[in-house]
Amino acid sequence: MPDTGYASDDLQGLRAAEPQGPTLDSQEPRGQLASRLLAMPSDTNPKGDIFGGWIMSLMDMAGKMSATTVAGGRVVTVAVDRIVFRQPVNVGDVVCCYTDLVRTGRSSITLSIEVWAMRQGQGVRVKVTDAVFTFVAIDDDGRPRAFAQETPSC
Ligand SMILES: CC(C)(COP(=O)(O)OP(=O)(O)OC[C@H]1O[C@@H](n2cnc3c(N)ncnc32)[C@H](O)[C@@H]1OP(=O)(O)O)[C@@H](O)C(=O)NCCC(=O)NCCS
């Protein structure tokens, strides 16, 4: 079994019966670091602001990597809920995505995803965006696939 880094209760969907949503006032990122990237000028609009769509793309990719591990195979994004852009991201910020398993179903995986920015690559991290993403494990024909709920040893 692959090491997902998630506790057994998480994989059983027991951690929370329903999605809890992102933390609102946490000073620490929720979950595990899933990706880290530098915000570049090419990620901005003509006014020089980082695109929200670029951040959403990072979240989708980070979530997909985590959900793929949990599902043991291919997943697709089925829903994005409660996305909130709390702070701007600037060129030169290091942008980190953290994922935390909220629940698993028969074929679905729900993750809290938080984006934190380290301003100009150093100093204090600030939470800039958070959302709840749901992914569905699919088979080769693109149909929902039940994945094993057995817990890997962590
Ligand atoms: C994801 C997809 C395979 C689901 O197919 P479906 O026939 O609707 O599947 P089902 O109704 O059997 O639902 C499958 C699971 O998805 C969950 N689900 C479906 N719609 C959902 C939604 N809007 N929000 C949260 N979960 C949802 C169901 O609860 C179910 O979870 P479970 O198996 O853990 O109980 C299909 O909708 C699809 O291919 N969507 C496009 C995915 C895609 O292209 N993503 C990239 C976007 S650019």
* In the chain, where the domains are located: 30-137
Phi, psi (degrees; rounded to nearest 5) at 43: -95, 10
User: Mapping DSSP to helix (H, G, I), strand (E, B) and coil, where does residue 94 land?
Assistant: strand
pLDDT in tens, 13-70: 433 333 444 444 468 999 999 999 999 999 998 888 899 999 999 999 999 999 999 9
Task: Name the CATH architecture for the domain at 30-137.
Answer: Roll (3.10)
The residue whose CA is least distant from atom 36 of ligand 1 is: 78
Distance of CA 123 from the midpoint of ligand 1 (Å): 40
Residues framing ligand 1 (Cβ under 6 A): 76-79, 105-108, 134, 136, 138, 142, 144
Q: What's the rounded Cα separation, in Å, for the pair 91 and 104?
A: 36
- Grouping H, G, I as helix, E, B as strand and the rest as coil, residue 54 is helix
What is the position in ligand 1's atom list of the atom closest to the CA of 104? 34
pLDDT tens digit sequence for 76-135: 999 999 999 999 999 999 999 999 999 999 999 999 999 999 999 998 899 999 999 999
The token duo for 40 is: 């570049």
Helix (H, G, I), strand (E, B) or coil at 45: coil
